[in-house]
């Protein structure tokens, strides 16, 4: 319950900007062949940055 509330507050104030920044960087990196793996990671980071509470990071 608290995780969802924190995700909503985070998304409204900071998450959307971090998400959009990662998407723009990811799309620009995807324009080159060398940048495609980095672009995929930026897109994954953007999703985690949008709603980070309750997520688990695995190696």
Give the tens place of pLDDT for each residue, 7-34: 788 878 888 898 899 999 999 999 999 9
- What tens digit of pLDDT does each residue of 44-54 get? 988 888 777 77
Domain that holds residue 6: 2-50
Q: Is 50 helix (H, G, I), strand (E, B) or coil?
A: helix
42 found inside a domain: yes
13 found inside a domain: yes
**Tokens read off for 12:** 């409204």
3-state helix, strand, coil split of the chain in percent (to 5) is: 75, 0, 25
Q: What total of structural domains would you count in the chain? A: 1
Choose between 13 and 2: higher pLDDT: 13
pLDDT in the model for residue 32? 93
Q: How confident is the model at residue 56 (pLDDT cuts 50, 70, 90)?
A: low
59 found inside a domain: no
39 found inside a domain: yes
57 found inside a domain: no
18 found inside a domain: yes
Confidence (pTM): 0.74
pLDDT in the model for residue 57? 63
């Amino acid at each position: 319950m608290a995780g969802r509330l924190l995700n909503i507050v985070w998304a409204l104030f900071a998450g959307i900007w971090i998400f959009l920044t990662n998407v723009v960087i990811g799309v620009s990196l995807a324009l080159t062949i060398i940048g495609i793996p980095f672009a995929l990671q930026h897109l994954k980071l953007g999703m985690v940055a949008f709603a980070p509470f309750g997520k688990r990071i695995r190696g």
